[in-house]
């Protein structure tokens, strides 16, 4: 029996996941990938979708059979024990110091493209965004589903408008160009592009809130992934066709430049609004996913009981407040350290890949039949992506090793204290 209100349907689930995947990446990452690999980035998108689909199928089966607000850490703990659940939960929460500041920087950057905003004003926009997510997160889950479904329509409509006005595709930019001599460029592009498909693991935290989780959760996950992949590829075709990439400044303002070129200067406001809403939607899923993970751990007695409190709508309000306050602190520190969005994305990607790898390994243990073999294949794909990240993966691997050492030290300390008391 679900511990949370079961309010989500199939369309709301697709809206939540697709906006989570599109959110912070759709208007920035295609340009970053084009800068890294040029026209070969179109092949990189095809390769990435092929890599992600087996992972998505495995998550779909895990979510179907084991719907739980604890999400990926709960699945990992179910397969490998309480210690691994604690470590993976902490590793997932460790995305906060790098992933959320990156997303908030991208979100405020859309307003900087149309308004004379300095760093102080950008920080205020980021704090206001956190406050808005806190407010929405206090409402029932279906409210977020409706809001994010509307945002998904706005994102898809904007990309469709660019294709229509720009008369795409153009003969100078093949939809899948010759790849000979460009294979070596793909790993660098994939290292950035994986950011676009993080969000599946956060979506698993919503499993308990589907009206019919066995049917609708896997369908929402698979349709959401395919929809997001198609939109990313279409956006990349537009970026390459109009050469809206090439350096840090151009990549960061890729969508406003495209709309300015095709529709005039006033269209920058459309880009700012849609881009900001896309970022908001992506972050909102993560904030709610983090909150539900903390709530689930508290509800099971693994964190202080006060964090298990729910409001009158049945959502984990106190856990969400803790997440929002933690994000505000991390955003302030990232601003003081002057970390770039590209740095933050690459560090966060390592955490996500390790979580995916552990989840796929859990699928090998928990699933049966063909799904077990698919989980094993997906685990190998995650290892491949981790190798592609190169040195950036050491942030996650080093953090996991440190957390393991601290957890073992805590366990030994508790044993010594217990022996002294006895």
Q: What is the pLDDT of residue 2?
A: 52
**pLDDT tens by residue, 179-202:** 776 777 777 777 777 767 776 766
Q: What pLDDT is attached to residue 372? A: 92
The H or E element spanning position 321 is helix 317-337
HSE value, Cβ hemisphere, 13 Å, CA-based, for 18:
30
* CB contact at 8 A, 347 and 395: yes
**Neighbour-count burial of 412, counting CB atoms closer than 10 A to its CB (0-12 exposed, 13-18 middle, 19+ buried):** exposed
Instruction: Report the percentage of the chain scoring pLDDT > 90.
Output: 6
pLDDT at 4 over 60: no
Whole-angstrom distance, CA of residue 397 vs CA of residue 91: 10
Closest CA to 366 of 25, 18, 81: 81
pTM over 0.85: no
Specify whether the CB–CB gap between 133 and 287 falls below 8 A.
yes
Question: 197-201, 312-316, 327-331: lowest mean pLDDT where?
Answer: 197-201
**By the 8 A CB rule, do 187 and 27 touch?**
no
The pLDDT of residue 26 is above 90 = no
Range with the largest mean pLDDT of 65-74, 150-159, 212-221: 150-159
Contacts of 227 (CB under 8 A, 6+ apart): 14, 18, 152, 156
In this structure, the number of other CB atoms found within 10 A of the CB of residue 142 comes to 17
C-alpha dist (Å) from residue 328 to 97, 100, 125, 294, 322: 10, 9, 11, 17, 10
Q: pLDDT digit string (tens) for 119-141?
A: 788 888 889 999 998 888 888 76
Across the range 111-117, mean pLDDT stands at: 77
Q: Is the pLDDT of residue 345 over 70?
A: no
Given this model, what pLDDT does residue 205 score? 62
In 84-166, beta strands by DSSP E: none
Express each pLDDT in 243-283 by its tens digit: 888 876 677 667 777 888 888 877 778 878 888 888 887 78
Encode pLDDT of 57-97 as tens digits: 888 888 778 877 677 888 898 999 888 888 888 887 777 77
Q: Is 210 helix (H, G, I), strand (E, B) or coil?
A: strand
pLDDT of residue 365: 93
Q: What is the mean pLDDT of residues 147-169?
A: 85
Flag whether pLDDT at 346 surpasses 70: no
- Band (1; pLDDT cuts 50, 70, 90): very low
Structure tokens at 280: 């908001």
Could you give the domains of the chain? 11-414 (1.20.1740.10)
Which position has the token pair 């898809």?
Answer: 156
Q: What is the per-residue pLDDT for 373?
A: 93
Average pLDDT, the chain: 80
């Amino acid at each position: 029996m679900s511990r949370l209100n079961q309010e989500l349907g199939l369309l709301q689930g697709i809206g939540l996941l697709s906006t989570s995947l599109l959110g912070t990446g759709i208007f920035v990452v295609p340009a970053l990938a084009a800068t890294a690999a040029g026209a070969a980035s179109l092949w990189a998108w095809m390769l990435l979708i092929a890599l992600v689909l087996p992972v998505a199928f495995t998550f779909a089966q895990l979510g179907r059979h084991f719907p739980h607000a604890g999400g990926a850490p709960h699945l990992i703990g179910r397969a490998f024990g309480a210690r691994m659940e604690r470590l993976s939960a902490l590793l997932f929460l460790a995305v906060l110091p790098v992933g959320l500041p990156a997303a908030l920087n991208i979100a405020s950057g859309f307003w900087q493209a149309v308004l004379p905003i300095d760093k102080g004003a950008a920080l205020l926009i980021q704090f206001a965004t956190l406050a808005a997510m806190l407010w929405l997160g206090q409402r029932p889950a279906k409210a977020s589903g409706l809001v994010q479904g509307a945002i998904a329509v706005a994102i898809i409509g904007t990309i469709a408008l660019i294709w229509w006005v720009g008369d795409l595709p153009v003969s100078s930019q093949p939809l899948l160009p010759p790849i000979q001599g460009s294979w070596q460029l793909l790993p660098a592009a994939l290292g950035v592009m994986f950011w676009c498909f993080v969000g599946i693991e956060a979506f698993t935290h919503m499993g308990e809130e589907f009206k019919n989780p066995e049917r609708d959760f896997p369908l929402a996950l698979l349709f959401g992934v395919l929809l997001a992949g198609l939109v990313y590829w279409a956006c990349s075709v537009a970026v390459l066709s109009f050469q809206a990439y090439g350096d840090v400044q151009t990549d960061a303002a890729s969508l406003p430049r495209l709309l300015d070129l095709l529709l005039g200067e006033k269209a920058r406001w459309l880009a700012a609004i849609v881009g900001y809403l896309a970022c908001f939607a992506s972050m909102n899923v993560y904030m709610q996913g983090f909150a539900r993970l903390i709530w689930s751990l508290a509800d099971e007695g693994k964190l202080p009981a006060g964090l298990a409190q729910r409001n009158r709508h049945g959502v984990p309000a106190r856990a969400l407040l803790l997440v929002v306050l933690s994000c505000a602190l991390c955003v302030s520190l990232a601003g003081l350290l002057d970390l770039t969005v590209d740095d933050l994305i690459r560090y966060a990607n390592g955490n996500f890949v390790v979580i995916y790898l552990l989840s796929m390994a859990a699928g090998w243990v928990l699933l049966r039949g063909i799904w077990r073999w698919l989980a094993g294949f997906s685990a190998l794909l995650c290892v491949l992506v981790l190798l592609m990240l190169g040195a950036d993966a050491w942030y996650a691997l080093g953090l996991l090793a440190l957390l393991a050492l601290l957890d073992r030290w805590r366990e030994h300390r508790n044993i010594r204290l217990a022996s002294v008391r006895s």
